[in-house]
Structure formats: structure tokens, C-alpha cells
Chains A and B, each alone.
Chain A
Amino acid sequence: AQTVTQSQPEMSVQEAETVTLSCTYDTSESDYYLFWYKQPPSRQMILVIRQEAYKQQNATENRFSVNFQKAAKSFSLKISDSQLGDAAMYFCAYRGYTGNQFYFGTGTSLTVIP
């Protein structure tokens, strides 16, 4: 089975600053999808951003962007101009091109300091 590793259990950032959350994965597939989910204290799971492995261009959604390094199997999330509302648990997830299984990392808890 594929594995997804988030090596930073906790991170903190000053409001308005930039923070990068890391994620690495292990797979033998050439096509797949990667996602970042945000879970605020309300416990709702919110999709932040997605990336198709066959696309070389890094995905961007407003203040959120990814640095996708396919050869290194790395998929980091950059949050620019951090806001208090960004404080949450962030999960990296992998889905193969075929099949129904999603694989999640163990999460990174992000604190935003006013």
C-alpha cells in the first residue's frame, strides 16, 4: 500500500507570514492525485487544493499553493499571508489513478500567532 508521511506534527506561523507544510509519499504508480485537506476545530474536513501527477504546473488556490516534486515524491503546501482562520489540522492525501483507496498522512497541526 502507498504511504503518506507528514514529518511535522506541529507548526506555527506569525499572522501575515508564510508557512510551508511538508508531505512525502511512496508509490510505484506514475499517475495519481494528491490533495491537501484542512480540518479546523469544527472538525469539518475541507479540501484545500489538489494536484494531478501528470501536470507539471503546481496548483494554486488563492493564498494556497503547492510545490510538487514528482521525482522526489514530495508535495508541500505553502500558505501565504497566514490568517487566524488558517489555524487547523492539515492532512496530505494520495489517490491512485485507478482504484478507490485514499491514503492519508498523520496530519500537521498549524497554529497561527496573532
Chain B
Amino acid sequence: DTAVSQTPKYLVTQMGNDKSIKCEQNLGHDTMYWYKQDSKKFLKIMFSYNNKELIINETVPNRFSPKSPDKAHLNLHINSLELGDSAVYFCASSQEGGETGGYYNSPLHFGNGTRLTVT
């Protein structure tokens, strides 16, 4: 079973359109992330949610709006798409704490990425 799944896998759209990418994790993790990978393969954090609350919000245009209806889902909505938005977008999850209050050695678990192409 897929641990972190994101849809769609490919997204081709025109400038000015609005699009969404969905992400779901079945690992029971409490933290989810969106990363952007540009053409040079640099990975840049965009957002992070912990138990549905926004905890990391890097310098990202406000055309990007994350939505977390519950801790298993983190969707990314992009308004007024621009050519520079073309990239691969990764959803990821991790476990940041436990019942004991300690922090687990939790790596990031990534989805398979969404390649967004804006024409």
C-alpha cells in the first residue's frame, strides 16, 4: 500500500489557471510538508503542517495556499499559475513526536511527486 500518495502525477496547464494537488498519507504521521524541486534539482521547503496547523511557511507567493482538512491530508492549491511555477512538487510526511513527548528519529517519507508544467 502506498504510504504517501499525491495526485495527479503530471499536470500540464496554461498560465493564469488555478490548479490543485492532493496529498494523503496512511502512516499515521502528524506532520506533512510540501517541497518544490526546480529544474536544477534543488529541494525547497514550502509549507509544513503539524496536526492540521501551519508551522512552516517559507517565502512563497500567496498564490500558493495549502489546506489540511485533517492530519492525513495536505492539499496544495495554486492560483494564477505562472511559467516559473513549473517544477516537481513533493508531498512528504514525518512523525515529530510521540505519546511520551519525545521526538522520534523520523525521516521524511515522500510521495512520488507531481510534475507541473505551465505553458
Interface residues of B in 9-64 (CB under 8 A from A): 31, 33, 40-43, 45, 48, 50, 55-56
User: In the bound complex, do residue A107 and residue B31 qualify as a contact, i.e. CB atoms below 8 Å apart?
Assistant: no
- List the interface of chain A (C-beta within 8 A of B): 33, 35, 37, 39, 42-45, 47, 50, 52, 89, 91, 93, 95, 97-98, 100-102, 104, 106-107, 109
From A47, A91, A101, contact of B45 by CB (8 A): A101
User: In the bound complex, do residue B107 and residue A35 qualify as a contact, i.e. CB atoms below 8 Å apart?
Assistant: yes
In the bound complex, residues from chain B placing their C-beta under 8 Å from that of A107 are 41-43
The interface size of chain B toward A, counting residues with CB under 8 Å, comes to: 25
User: In the bound complex, do residue B110 and residue A100 qualify as a contact, i.e. CB atoms below 8 Å apart?
Assistant: no
Dominant SS among interface residues on chain B:
strand
Dominant SS among interface residues on chain A:
strand
User: In the bound complex, do residue B55 and residue A93 qualify as a contact, i.e. CB atoms below 8 Å apart?
Assistant: no
From B42, B48, B92, B103, contact of A98 by CB (8 A): B103
From A45, A93, A97, A101, contact of B90 by CB (8 A): A45
